[in-house]
Each structure stands twice: as C-alpha cells, then as structure tokens.
Structure 1
Amino acid sequence: MTIPCSLTEARRLDALYKLNLLDTPPSEAFDRITRMAASLFKLPIAAVSLTDANRQWFKSRVGVEHDNIPRVRAPCGQVADSSDVLVIPDLLKDACYQDSLLAESGIRYYAGAPLTTHDGHCLGAMCVLGTEPRDTTPEEISALCDLAGMVMAQIELQHALGRVDPVSGLPNRNQFIEDFQDLQLDAAEGEQRLAVLINLATLEQLAHAARAMKSSYLDELVTDGARWLRAEVGAGHRIYHVATAQFILLPSSGETLDSLLPRLQDKMQQAHAIARSRYVATPAAGVVPFDVGRDDSLSVLRKARSAAHDAADRGLLVAIYSQVEDALYQRRFSLLNDFGAALESPDQLRLVFQPRIEIETGMCIAAEALLRWNHPELGAIGPAEFIPIVERSSLAQATTAWVLNEALRHQSAWRSAGMAVQMAVNVSAANLTEPGFSASVADSLARYRLPADCLELEITESAIMQQPAKAHDTLAAIAALGVGLAIDDFGTGYSSLSYLQTMPADVVKIDQSFIRGLEDDTRRQALVRAMITLSQDLGHRVVAEGVENDDVLNFLRLAGCDEAQGYLFAAPLEADVFAAYSCPISTTALRVPKLTLPPRTTAVLPL
C-alpha cells in the first residue's frame, strides 16, 4: 500500500494541520468516546487515530501503550485515503495486512469509521481492534460511525472556542499565552529558550494592499503564509497566529541561536522571494531568547515583535532582539504619549529663533522658528529626537498649529517694536493634505493683524511627494494669500529640479549637508554653485543652511548666494535674545527694543 502524494492528499494534510491536534496532550473529552467504543464492541483496544504524512498518531487510545505507529500498511491510513468505513474480520486472512505490524503484534480484528471534516477531508479513523477474529453487525457499524461523528463534533467544538484563527487555522494569541504558561510548568526554571516572530508584510504594505487589491488579498496572504510556515518552518515547533500578518513559533528545547539562525535565514530568504513575486510584501523575522519562569508570554511576544520590526526597518531578513534598540523605541513611544500633554501645558514648549542673514548687506532679514521641549521629568528633549516621531503621528497637525500660533504671536510683538523680519515656520506632510489648511493660515494672520508677507512656510520635497496632487493644491492656495514658500533641505529630496519648475516657491534652502566642509571640497563647490545659479535663474532666492566659518561664507558671497543661516552668525536664540540680535554681521549688540507680547492664545488650527 502506497501513501498518496497528490494534491488531494496535500489538502487533506493541510486540513489536519490547521486543527493543531497532532502531538497535543491527552483530553478527557476524547478519552470518554474511546472508552465508550471499547465498551460497545467489548474489545480491548480502541483509538482516535489521526493520519499524518508518515504515521498514525493517536489523539486518544485504550489498550495501547505507544502513541503512534507507521502509516505504511496501517488500516487507519486506508480509511484516510478512501474516506470509507473499513472492516477487516481477520487480519491474517487479508492479503494487505496479514504480515503488517498490527498482525505481528497479535491484532486479528479491525473496524474503523472515517473522521471527516465538513469540507470532505478525512483526518483518520475512530477505530476498534481485537485479538480474535470476529464479524461485525450493521448496528455496530452504525454505532462506530456515530462515535466518529462525536469525535468530529468535539474537534470542531475545540476549534471554535476562541483558540484558533479562522483564516490561518493556527492557534491564536490566546492559545499562545496558555501554552506559554504550560511551558513554564514543564521546563526547568531558568532554562533559556527561543521565540521567533515572523511578520509577513509591513503595516504600510498591508495598508496599500487593502486600498489597491481585492478584499480576499489579505486572507490569501495569511492562508498561504500559514501553509508555508507549517511546511517549511514549523517541523517540531508550535506555530501561533498572533496578529493580522504575524506568527510566532517556539522552537524545541535545546535549540540555540547558533543552530537556529542559519536555517531561519535560509527559510526567510525563500519566503522573501515568494512574497515579493506574489504579494509585493517583505517578510521579516525577529528572534528573542527568554528564560523560562522569568519572562512572561506578553513580554516575549512584544520583544519578538520589536526584533521583527527592527529587521524590517533595517532591510534584514532576520534580527535578534536588541535591548538597546527596544529601549530606544520605548522611549520614543513614551515621548509621543507625553507630547500631547506638552501641547496643552503652558510651560513645556517654547520657540527659539535662528537668524537668516542677507549676505550682501549683513542684515538679519528673517528668523526660522524652531520648537523646543522641556519635559517635566526628562528635561530638555532634542528636536532631532522628538520632531520626527511627532511628524509621523496624529499630533503633527496640532503641533504645526501650536508653532504657527506662537510664531505669529512673537511676530506681532516684534513688528509693534519696529522689528521687520520675516518669520519662517516649518510645515509637515500632514499639513499639506489637511482640509482647509490655507484658510487656517489666513485666519491666524488675521487674528494677529499681520500681513501675509511677514510669514514664510518651509516645506521639504519629501513631504510633497507623499501626496503630490493635494500638496500642490494646498501650496497654490497658500501662495495666493501672499504667504512666502520655501523649499527646505533642497538637494536631498526625490526630484529637486522638477519641483523647482512646478512648486510656487519664493526661496530655495540648500541643505546643510552640501554646505558643511564646502571650503575643502571642489566637487561640492561646483555642485553648490550650479544649484545657486539654477535656482536664481528660475526666480528663487537662495539660502545656504549650516554656514559655520568665514571661508564658506566668502565662497557663497562670490557664488552669488542671497542668504545664509548657521552657527557662524548665531545658534537658535531665545525670543528675548533674538530681539537683541545685531543686524550687521560685524556688530555684536544693538539696543534691545521694548517688546510687549500678545497674551498666549489656545487657538489652534483645525485638526
């Protein structure tokens, strides 16, 4: 008798594996049915036998010591292949089984009824066996089929009790937590084990697919991913479906990083090739060592997920959990949670102002407003740390609203004191797609009775590229108000030259990465000179950021650059210090105008 290798058998095995019955602990619910079968037939042996690829595994058994036998030439295997009731009155008189393992063990009688799913896949047999030949009545066959139906009802009941994901067919997060607790009881305390989380796709990829693909796309991704995991990665390991496209597995005891990582790297390479061709997804895996009895399930799950995200962020197939990276991420998350309160606080946030100098005259003609945060517990938080996470969050619009309102409040005071400098405010990508943003800018100017040309908004090319059409509509509406527009970090975006032609900008700010070290780099000098000439030929003023010494300033002057900004002139200054800042480059102090700031207002732009 041969084991079938057809597509039908592959689907049958997949249905069996989805139920996650193999190699699970004994269950009284199944044992009760098995004892009933032995009693009804008055036979010493009965079993719930599941047909795996190469073995018969007994979920429940009476009168049998071992929990599995080879599938080859096992009657239960024939039941699985045919999905029919099989009765063998005397194995020694049956050509197929007279010299089988069962016959050699003294078994003479066999009767088995198929365990069949609603989809028609036979998982194995409810079987009874005896050591003497015997006949079987129709009533006995009917009773055996009823017992098989009871087994399947119990299987389906367990499958539906909130422990199995309906799409992947794998144990879910709840089952992982429960099994992890059992692991703590079974293993030696302090024993180090491993957990592996496999992420089929990034959140961005899933979001794009949800918009562009048919509704069954995600189900297909998860189903195929689960099937692949069971076949390629899951041998000897329990696999759990713990999130939309995330699976975690617990390798067997004794597995180490040295033994696991090469195999996992190879498997993830395969997964990467398959996913990119079929699903435009990039799977990644995170591995976390943990100590039995000391680490809880949710902590292990979080750390494994953190490692998988690290792998995806760094373009790797596999990453090992890093406590340092995890601590940094937790700090970023904590800061983001605290920033909402900072926006409401009267004393956590403030603006500082960095002068922009007109190179030809040496006069300070503009100020860039920069946000600073003094955390009540952590102290000063650098903008390079908190600005990027805020801009990618739902707080981005409210943050711009706070900065714009505060900047115009200071601008109003400066103009009342006779200071005519333009105020530059950075705008995030979220603002460019914000409904009514240009109208909110106009309302803010009107609130402080300020002319539109006293304000300049700085936008990066990368912000525009996220939704170009909406961004251009917003920028055109702002330009129509008379508010200035500047391309910030010019030269580092996606398509700088094309945006010089289409964006209604007044100013181009050359990124500091091109300016620092400029005095010693002739190739960079040629590039900056060309950027200045091209921008001015297209009608833009040019500001060089990051100017830190006289040699660079002299080069920019000879190249015809309009303005400069950097530590050569001043670091970002507190509001009162900026008010006293000298206008000519060669002078260090001027009379401080008497300023009266308008009262703070809680008015912000609509979210």
Structure 2
Amino acid sequence: MLPYIVDAIQNEEARLNALRDLNLLDTSPSDSFDRLTRLASKLLDAPVSTISLTDRDRQWFKSKVGVDITEIPREQAPCSYAIGNDEIFVVPDLTADPRFVGSPLAQAGIRFYAGAPLFTRQGHGLGTLCVVDERVRELDDEGRQVLRDLAGMVMSQIELSNTIGRTDAATGLPNQHQMFEDVEDLARRHKGAAASGLMVELVSQQQYGQGQRVLGGSFTESLIRGASARLRPAFGNSSKLYHVGPTRLAVLLTPETGLEVPIMVDRIIELLREPLECDGIPVLPTPALGSCEFVLGDLAPRDVLRRMLNAVEDASLSDTARAEYCPAHELRHARSFMLLNDFRTALESGDQLRLDYQPRIELTTGRCLGAEALMRWTHPLLGPIPPVEFIPAVEQTALAKPMTEWVVSAALAQIAAWQAQGLDLRMSANVSALNLDEPDFAARILALVQRSGVRPEMLELEFTESAVARNPTRAARQLEAIRSAGVAIAIDDFGSGYSNLSYLQTLSASVLKVDRAFIGDLESSERDRTLVRSVIDMAHDLGYRVVAEGIETRDAFELLRTWGCEEGQGYLMARPMPAASLEAWLRQEIGAAAA
C-alpha cells in the first residue's frame, strides 16, 4: 500500500476518533447550537442552515434550520470537501459542478452551498457550519467572514460542551485546557518568539501508589496544593502554574517571564528538597523535570504538552532526574505506540505473523528432540520487526492473551503437520507473565490442545522466572492443571530473573532452561563455569531436565555435555528457521547420521 494512502487512512481514523470523543453524534438538539444556525440563516439570507458532523459514511446534523432530515449519505456531500482545508467552501451551483451533479442535495433542488469547516485544536475536521439555497448565488467576502466567525463560535460551543471549566476543581489550579488557550494567546501576541515548557513530576510512581493506598484521593490534592504554594512565588506574576496530571505541574516560560530553564530547574529542585505535608504525613518529593523549547505559533498547544510529557518521562528514567525534549526518543515512543496499535491487526491478518523454529539438540547423541517456536512479524510498511522490539511491549497489555493463543495455536498446527509427514518433534512455546494472571488460562490452553488433535506431551510451555514470581501460588495452580493434562512446563531464562529457589521446589515444571547470558563466556569465565555447573547439579537434584540456551562454540557444547546438561540450542547447531527450512535441515542431519 502506498505511504500517502496509509497516511490518509490513519488521519481519517484519527479524525473519527476525535469526533466520537466529543460525544456529539446522535445527541438531542441543543438551544446553544440552534441559536447559531438560526443566526447563520438570518445573516446570510439562506433558507437552510445546518451544523453538520462528518461521520464515516454519513453527514449528521447536530443543529438545523429549514430542513427536517437529520442525516444524509456522506458520499457526494459538499461537507466532505469542506473539511479538506481551512477555507470557506462555496459551490454557486451544485448542478453545474461535476462533483455534485448527482448528489442527494442537487436532486432535492438545492443549488447553492457554502460551508465553513469546524476544526479541533489538533487540526481534525469535524464537519461544517453550512448554508444552502435553492437559488444559484455567490458569497461575498463579508459573507465569508460572517460564516467563518460563526463557525468559530460553534467550535467554542463544542469545546465548552465537552470541557467543564478551565480550572481543576480539587486544587484550584488552571488545567491543561487553560494551558492550551494560553499557548494560543501567547502565539497571537508573540508569534515567532522562543518559549519553553517545563513539567515537574513531583513523586515517583511507587510513592504515588503508596500515597494513594494510605490517603486515597486526598493525597494528590494535598501534594499538589503544597507543591504549588511553594513553587508559585518562584515564577512571579508573569507565569501560571498548571495542574496537568495526577502529580504533574507545568509552567510556560515566555518572553514575558524573562526566566531561563536551567535557572528554574535548579530553583524548583531547591524548593522541593523539604518534605510536603499531606494530611499530617510528611512526603519527601522526588522531582523529575522535563523541558522543551518551541517557537510560538509553530507548534499546536497539544504538541507542546506532548513534548513536555515526553521530556518528563525521560527525566524520570534519568540518573539526574532532568531531561530536555528529544525528538529521537519521541519517534521511538511513537513507533512503539504504532506497533502496539498495529499488532491487533497483525493477529487478524493471517499473513503478517509467522513462527520460526530453533532446534533443541540432545547433547549426548546430537539428535534433534524438538524445537522452540519463535514469533516473527513482518509489518506491511516497516518490514521485519525485531521480536525484542514488540514482544515485551505487547506482553504488558491486554494483547498478551490473544498473542499467546496465536502462538500456541500455530505451534500445535505445525506439530500436526509434521506428524503427518512422519516427524515427531516436541514444540516449546513462550508464554507471557500476564497469562498466568488470567483465571481461565489453563482451561483455554488445554482446549486448544484438544481441538488440535495433538498429544499433550508434544507441547511444552516456557515461562520466565519473573512470570512465576509475580504470584507463585496462582502460578502453581495454573501450571499444575496444565502439567496434569500432559503438557510439559519449562522455566525459561533461569538465572536472569529472581532466581528464587523456593518456588522451584513446588512448581509443576520438568525443564529448566539456563539463560544464554551464562553460556557465552563459559570458556573464559571461571565464575560462569561454576554457576552453570552448580545450576545443572541443583536442577538434577530437584528432578529437572536441563536445557542450555545460546550455545555458539564447540568448547561450550563439550563443557555442558560433560556436566550432564541434557539439551541445548544455539547458533552452533542451528539458527531459528522457517518450518520448510527446518524440515530440510532435519533431512540433511538424518542423512549425515546414516552415512
């Protein structure tokens, strides 16, 4: 698909989301809107005036004068053209314009159309304020200005209907909507001037969670009130302090303030060194400060806020707790967000996702006993996406559930296909931490196995230590149900996570996979050799079969085999490969063994 087509589709979806977020579609008539359409009809001497909202396939009238219908098809509607730019759209004679000759309006006898687009602050076209007439006519410059002014009043009414005030009710501080208006006002008065936005996160996420547990909603109110009272004098009368998040404050530094970002950052940190009283409990702030520079008039208010948010997120991860806006970081976050949004489509597409398979080799005989299924994603626009870029992000969302089901279903289908060819290979598949939090996880997995017709013992599920350690008791129940049905359980990446030995005594697992981080330096690191050898001995004492990951050298292979490690996988033996390549590789290995 061509990039400009993709952009158009994505922009249309963003526009529709903005329209629906306003909660105006299919709502009851409103006097505040009807007054504006009556005024438009009167001032522009038009029998019909409407406030028309452009949905996916229709034009819906929030307000109307001189017409009884509430909606018309979007196809060939002039309003669809009017939202394409920020100019007044005028058609003197619909029947003379090839775009609208067969339109419902022209067929109903309408000749003249004039529409002013209704744009959100983010630039999304919602619809129009339009007037129509049965006469062929034009609209002079004065009429165009009247229509433009009335459209501005409509948008003000829409925003007023959607936003309850400009002040945070709990703290009394101006909120982000007031900040948006102030950025626009500054741009009108100082267009082209340099400005900066500064945002402070008062406490860490852990502190915030603890405060909420102890004090509830009053924690946030007390924290913001205390911090704002301490910080306000530092900005003088020329800058407002805005409450833009649960524990986030923002300030605009403009030509009027004469304040520099580094000086203000130092001043804020100094002012927040002492604890703040929150309902009698002293809370020591741990401020993170993010800043962004911008040119007034060049950046939409929401983009200013977005850059400030990106900067403060970077600051919270920084050792110095300070950060300036970084476009590269924002692009990375935007890409990650886009991939998360696109992954659901990938799950449903049938042609973007696939499994590659890395053989697992018995170290004493060199036989291939099975393979690990590894998800691969080829994005239609971005091409191959590295698993490390999308899998950890997906595992933190609700998409973890359908992702695991896709992997297990695909793995079972491949096992069945191989068995039909006479290949009897056990398949291991990775499962995310969130899956063990799902109460019906074990039942769903076993249902997939039953529907596939594959023997349960041909499937092995791999869980990381961190997944099990989240809730060992619940994990043990889920794993026991799966293991009892015959599906094997493996602890993946052992040694890289919590390495809590107590849960190894109780889990219904049969395989322990040693993390590749300990395998790469076996030849040169005496410490790694001691650790791996000890893990193998301990695992055997507990009844586990041991698999080593990341074997890349013959010396490592021989050491592991000597220490009794049963299986291994790594580039020394074979890289991950598609199913057809693995079949060819197996035939080659079998042929070599026979010779």
Higher relative contact order (CA 8 A, sep 6+): 1
1:449 to 453, 464, 484: 453
1:223 to 222, 225, 228: 225
Q: Is the 8 A contact 1:268 1:284 kept in 2?
A: no
Equivalent position of 1:405 in the other structure = 409
Q: Is the 8 A contact 1:271 1:283 kept in 2?
A: no
Residue type matched to 1:375 in 2?
Answer: H
1:523 to 514, 523, 527: 527
In structure 2, distance between residues paired with 1:256 and 1:441: 58
Within 5 Å, give how 1:63-212 maps onto structure 2.
162-187=165-190, 189-201=191-203, 206=208, 210=212
Q: What's the secondary structure of 2:443's corresponding residue?
A: helix
Q: What's the secondary structure of 1:216's corresponding residue?
A: helix
The answer to whether 1:314 aligns with 2:318 is yes
Q: Is the 8 A contact 2:272 2:285 kept in 1?
A: no
Q: Is the 8 A contact 1:268 1:317 kept in 2?
A: no
Deviation at 1:265, TM superposition (A): 4.2
Q: Is the 8 A contact 1:460 1:490 kept in 2?
A: yes
Change in Cα spacing, 1:492 to 1:261, as seen in structure 2 (3 Å) is same
Deviation at 1:490, TM superposition (A): 0.4
The answer to whether 1:429 aligns with 2:433 is yes
In structure 2, distance between residues paired with 1:183 and 1:510: 59
Deviation at 1:210, TM superposition (A): 4.5
Deviation at 1:264, TM superposition (A): 4.0
Residue type matched to 1:181 in 2?
Answer: E
Equivalent position of 2:74 in the other structure = none
Cα RMSD (Å) of the superposition? 2.8
Range moving further from structure 2, 290-299 or 280-289: 280-289
Deviation at 1:472, TM superposition (A): 2.2
Q: What's the secondary structure of 2:299's corresponding residue?
A: coil
Residue type matched to 2:178 in 1?
Answer: Q
Name structure 1 gaps, 5 residues minimum: 1-159, 592-607
2:302 to 287, 298, 301: 298
In structure 2, distance between residues paired with 1:296 and 1:280: 35
Residue type matched to 2:520 in 1?
Answer: R
In structure 2, distance between residues paired with 1:532 and 1:328: 40
Within 5 Å, give how 1:258-269 maps onto structure 2.
258-267=262-271
Deviation at 1:582, TM superposition (A): 2.9
Q: What's the secondary structure of 2:501's corresponding residue?
A: helix
2:397 to 376, 393, 396: 393
Equivalent position of 1:54 in the other structure = none
Q: Is the 8 A contact 2:461 2:487 kept in 1?
A: yes
In structure 1, distance between residues paired with 2:591 and 2:230: 71
Q: What's the secondary structure of 1:502's corresponding residue?
A: coil
Percentage of identical aligned residues: 40
Query: Which protein shows a greater Rg?
Result: 1
Equivalent position of 2:253 in the other structure = 251
Range moving further from structure 2, 567-576 or 229-238: 229-238
Deviation at 1:266, TM superposition (A): 3.6
Deviation at 1:292, TM superposition (A): 1.6
Deviation at 1:272, TM superposition (A): 9.9
Q: Could you list the per-position Cα deviations for residues 64-120 of structure 1 after superposition, in whole angstroms to 9, with x for gaps in the alignment?
A: xxxxxxxxxxxxxxxxxxxxxxxxxxxxxxxxxxxxxxxxxxxxxxxxxxxxxxxxx
Instruction: Find runs of 4+ consecutive structure 1 residues off by over 4 angstroms.
Output: 201-213, 231-236, 267-275, 277-282, 583-591
Equivalent position of 2:384 in the other structure = 380
Within 5 Å, give how 1:327-346 maps onto structure 2.
327-346=331-350
Change in Cα spacing, 1:383 to 1:490, as seen in structure 2 (3 Å) is same
TM-score, normalized by length of structure 1? 0.66
Residue type matched to 1:171 in 2?
Answer: P
In structure 2, distance between residues paired with 1:230 and 1:536: 64
Equivalent position of 1:477 in the other structure = 481
Deviation at 1:467, TM superposition (A): 2.9
Deviation at 1:244, TM superposition (A): 2.7
In structure 2, distance between residues paired with 1:488 and 1:272: 45
In structure 1, distance between residues paired with 2:486 and 2:284: 44
Deviation at 1:207, TM superposition (A): 5.4
Range moving further from structure 2, 219-228 or 535-544: 219-228
Equivalent position of 2:369 in the other structure = 365
Q: Is the 8 A contact 1:581 1:588 kept in 2?
A: no
Range moving further from structure 2, 523-532 or 241-250: 241-250
What number of residue pairs does the alignment pair up? 430
Equivalent position of 2:354 in the other structure = 350
Equivalent position of 2:512 in the other structure = 508
TM-score, normalized by length of structure 2? 0.67
Q: What's the secondary structure of 2:165's corresponding residue?
A: coil
Change in Cα spacing, 1:373 to 1:444, as seen in structure 2 (3 Å) is same
The answer to whether 1:570 aligns with 2:574 is yes
Deviation at 1:215, TM superposition (A): 4.4
Deviation at 1:328, TM superposition (A): 0.4
The answer to whether 1:415 aligns with 2:429 is no
Q: Is the 8 A contact 2:472 2:503 kept in 1?
A: no
Deviation at 1:316, TM superposition (A): 4.2
Residue type matched to 1:560 in 2?
Answer: G
The answer to whether 1:490 aligns with 2:502 is no
In structure 2, distance between residues paired with 1:289 and 1:299: 12
Q: What's the secondary structure of 1:190's corresponding residue?
A: coil
Name structure 2 gaps, 5 residues minimum: 1-162
Q: Could you list the per-position Cα deviations for residues 27-50 of structure 1 after superposition, in whole angstroms to 9, with x for gaps in the alignment?
A: xxxxxxxxxxxxxxxxxxxxxxxx
Q: Is the 8 A contact 1:362 1:584 kept in 2?
A: no
In structure 2, distance between residues paired with 1:233 and 1:432: 50
Deviation at 1:418, TM superposition (A): 1.9
